[in-house]
Amino acid sequence: MDKQIIKIIKGGITEQKVDAIVNAANNSLLGGGGVDGAIHKAAGPKLLEECRTLNGCATGEAKITQGYNLPAKWVIHTVGPVWHGGNNDEDGMLAKCYRNCLTVAAEKGIKTIAFPSISTGAYHFPIPRAAEIAINEVIDFLNDRPVFDRIVFVCFNDETFSSFNRVLNARVP
């Protein structure tokens, strides 16, 4: 696995010039706060129209739509787990989010993808733990299926940025 494929940046996911961005959505897929609200706002009303046809999304699963007014051609929607203390398979469900997003992207022939830090905002997943799960899932996927040219983790704040960098540097020196 080439470390150059994985990038960690601070910024907004809606501005990323990649093939697909990942939306940390709620089960309805009909918009919400945080990343979800920002993506729906930037993409425009056609995203909501298409999301209405998807019949929601289960936690850990992933569904794809067009990107509409976004720089990205695609939006991959996934529903992360709400943190309840770590004893309700939150780790496994979060890992499944990343794995399913990467699988959907690979099946579409997507070469560049940007992820937010799934579940660490309103769903209160601990950031260091989420970063470890995210980086490990991406590296494991790339080791099995090296189909991506670039995978970007777009971090909203310094704490998230530092956590993701720490995990990546520990895993791929």
Catalytically active residues are: 36
C-alpha distances out from residue 158 to 53, 88, 155, 164, 166, Å: 37, 28, 8, 10, 12
**Residues 6+ away with beta carbon under 8 Å from 90:** 81, 82, 83, 84, 119, 125
Q: Give 51-56's long-range contacts (Cβ < 8 A, gap of 24+).
A: 51/77, 54/29, 56/27, 56/28, 56/29
Closest by Cα among 154, 77, 84, 47 to 165: 154
CA 52/CA 146 separation, integer angstroms: 33
User: Which amino acid appears at position 68 of this protein?
Assistant: Y
